Amino acid sequence: MTFFQSVIMGMVQGLTEFIPVSSSGHLIIFPELMGWEQGGLAFDTTLHLGTLTALLVYFYKEIRGMVFSVAGDAGKLGLRFSQYSPESKLVGWLLVATLPAGLAGLLFGDFLESSFRSVLSVSIFLLLGSVLMFFADKFGRNKDRSLPAPPLTFKKIVSIGFFQCLALFPGFSRSGASISGGLLSGLNRNQAAKISFLLSIPIIAAAGFFQLPEALGVYSGAGAGILISGFLSSAVSGYLAVAGLMKYLNSHGLKAFVIYRTVLSFLLILLYLF
């Protein structure tokens, strides 16, 4: 892999990690169509750390507020979690909600990632994810922006966590699955997107740092520059993508992404068959 390819792949990862079109699917599809060497799971993991950095920067104020809130409540209230502030409770709910995808990834992640890295399998999961997003966008509640934001509850947050498990299938999309879960749970679009992104932070961090030693081993020496360039490209494009999507969802639904995914899926299937 060259530096140019690394930067382009970083941009692909950064843009598609948050826009609900599946970053893992595009990291498989794009090199295949361009005739480039696959970066492998180790390289893909490093790109995910770039998008993690983008999330931490974009949501810095929210994350900082939640950390200070939890620290303050824990110091005053100890283990009396029921008396914590809503901001502190949200932190606890998010941590619990990461467990389904975290456990599923630990048990089945490597198998699913290695078993479904073909263009055909990605196209199928792109299509299945599109169906989920279509129904979530059509039948999800609280689409009227004039209505007050519905309350966040433990049940809603955890249900989104279970939807996040679908991201283990390349092509499904972490953000697409979890935003859909949020809409079907009764959240509005911006709430669903924000919870989706916050919920992904522990998962991306755990997966990234767990596989980082392997990535550094594969891309040691002169190859480290390829990792760094991909990381930086992913971080910058990821920040632009999450900022753009949060603004876009203020007045739009998921229809455009459903159409894109569906068209891409059928094109890939046709390419595979003919």
Scan for tokens 């110091």, then name that residue: 75
Average pLDDT over residues 117-130: 88
* pLDDT at 194 (0 to 100): 92
* pLDDT at 223 (0 to 100): 65
* pLDDT at 145 (0 to 100): 58
CB neighbours (10 Å) of residue 37?
Answer: 11
pLDDT at 257 over 60: yes
> CB-side exposure of 101: number of CA atoms within 13 Å?
32
What percent of the chain clears pLDDT 70, i.e. is strictly above it?
Answer: 91
Average pLDDT over residues 133-158: 80
43, two tokens: 């390289």
Average pLDDT over residues 141-168: 81
pLDDT at 156 over 60: yes
What percent of the chain clears pLDDT 90, i.e. is strictly above it?
Answer: 39
pLDDT at 112 over 60: yes
Q: If 0-12 CB within 10 Å is exposed, 13-18 middle and 19+ buried, where does residue 129 land?
A: buried
Which element (helix H / strand E) includes 96?
Answer: helix 86-115
Whether 10 contacts 225, CB under 8 Å:
no
Q: How far is 151 from 191, CA to CA, in rounded Å?
A: 10
**Residue pLDDT, tens place only, 51-79:** 999 999 999 999 999 999 999 998 888 88
Residues near 229 by beta carbon (within 8 Å), at least 6 away in sequence: 3, 6, 7, 10
* pLDDT at 97 (0 to 100): 93
* pLDDT at 236 (0 to 100): 95
Average pLDDT over residues 22-31: 82
**Residue pLDDT, tens place only, 177-236:** 999 999 999 898 889 999 999 998 988 887 777 776 766 666 666 567 788 888 899 999
266, two tokens: 């059928």
Average pLDDT over residues 112-134: 87
Higher-confidence position of 155 and 150: 155
Scan for tokens 């826009």, then name that residue: 19
* pLDDT at 146 (0 to 100): 57
Dihedral over alpha carbons 147, 148, 153, 155 (to 10 degrees)? 10
Average pLDDT over residues 47-53: 89
Residues near 228 by beta carbon (within 8 Å), at least 6 away in sequence: none
* pLDDT at 58 (0 to 100): 95
pLDDT at 98 over 70: yes
Q: Produce one character per residue of 150-174: b if its CB has 16 or more CB atoms within 10 Å, e if not.
A: eebeeebbbbbbbbbbbbbbbbbbb
